[in-house]
Structure 1
């Protein structure tokens, strides 16, 4: 896994998060699931994961917590764990499953 920060050390993201681990929930907005992802150690990494997962068609909202690696994903329907896992892995991080 390569470093998620740029060579000049710059990192930024517009995402904030306070996800709670636990069971998947269904709301009017969709279904929410919390996943664990290894390697999210900075605001830059947080932004990379949020942008990658947030770019999936079914994703309505994504929140990423630095340090804990909790990624809260809300989808319009049933979440596709395999697609989310491959997207996270392609972004350079290690998807470890549902929290």
Structure 2
């Protein structure tokens, strides 16, 4: 079963930020797509199986940004 969730990210302000976050999230097992939007401060992650918020937060932290929350 696939899953798509949108997260709010702090500190993302440009295309470079989007690429850094997308790269880290894409490296997670099962991720099939990542769409980062610096203007909205969000990143949408599609995966084959649900990922934990901790996995997402760790990848975003590795890119140098902070997970603020997730959208419903």
With normalisation by structure 2, the TM-score equals 0.90
Please identify the structure whose Cα radius of gyration is greater.
1
Query: Does 1:95 find its partner at 2:63?
Result: no
Residue 46 of structure 1: SS of its match in structure 2?
A: helix
Query: Does 1:71 find its partner at 2:22?
Result: no
Name the structure where strand makes up a greater proportion of residues.
2
Question: Could you tell me which residue of structure 2 aligns to residue 54 of structure 1?
Answer: 26
1:62 Cα deviation from its structure 2 partner: 0.5
Gaps of 5+ in 2: none
Q: Distance in 1 between matches of 2:29 and 2:22?
A: 13
**Aligned counterpart for 1:86 among listed residues 52, 58, 62:** 58
For these two proteins, the number of residue pairs brought into alignment is: 71
Gaps of 5+ in 1: 1-27
**RMSD of equivalent CA atoms:** 1.2
Higher relative contact order (CA 8 A, sep 6+): 2
